Amino acid sequence: MDAHPEVPTQRPRVLVVEDHEDTRFMLRTMLERRGVKVLEAENGEAAIHLAADERPHLILMDGGLPLLNGLEAARMIRARDGETNRVPIIFLSGHAESDFQRAARAAGCDEFLIKPIDLNQLDNVLERHLRRSEQI
């Protein structure tokens, strides 16, 4: 038996769903600096599977994804039974029009952030959704 058992960490898990590598890198770097464990998916189908398997505490979901767009992926995550259907989903889009925001809300997204992402807004989102559930 190990004399010093490993203590499990309670770092929050955030699933970043983004098809652009540079944007994923930027989000991963910003989140890791804030003590967050980052999971990554490049398309909507991978996001659905990762959300079910890894049970993130928050999902940052891009709208324009290959295979399955962000709205459809959000709808499918919300349609699942269990904890996954309650995870906060933050929709990311370069489109600021209210139609996009309404579509994101209708798909089950909790909030909408406009790209390029403002770091203060991202911090506010983390504060609201992760600290509320006492994850960080």
pLDDT tens-place string over residues 90-100: 999 998 889 98
Integer CA distances (angstroms), 104 to 5, 45, 46, 65, in order: 44, 17, 19, 14
Gap between the Cα atoms of 126 and 132, Å rounded: 9
Q: Where are the domains of the chain?
A: 13-131
Q: What is the pLDDT of residue 1?
A: 46
pTM of the model: 0.88
**pLDDT score for 8:** 46
CATH of region 13-131: 3.40.50.2300
pLDDT higher than 50, residue 134 = yes
At 35, the pLDDT band (50, 70, 90 cuts) reads: very high
Position 133 confidence tier, pLDDT thresholds 50, 70, 90 = low
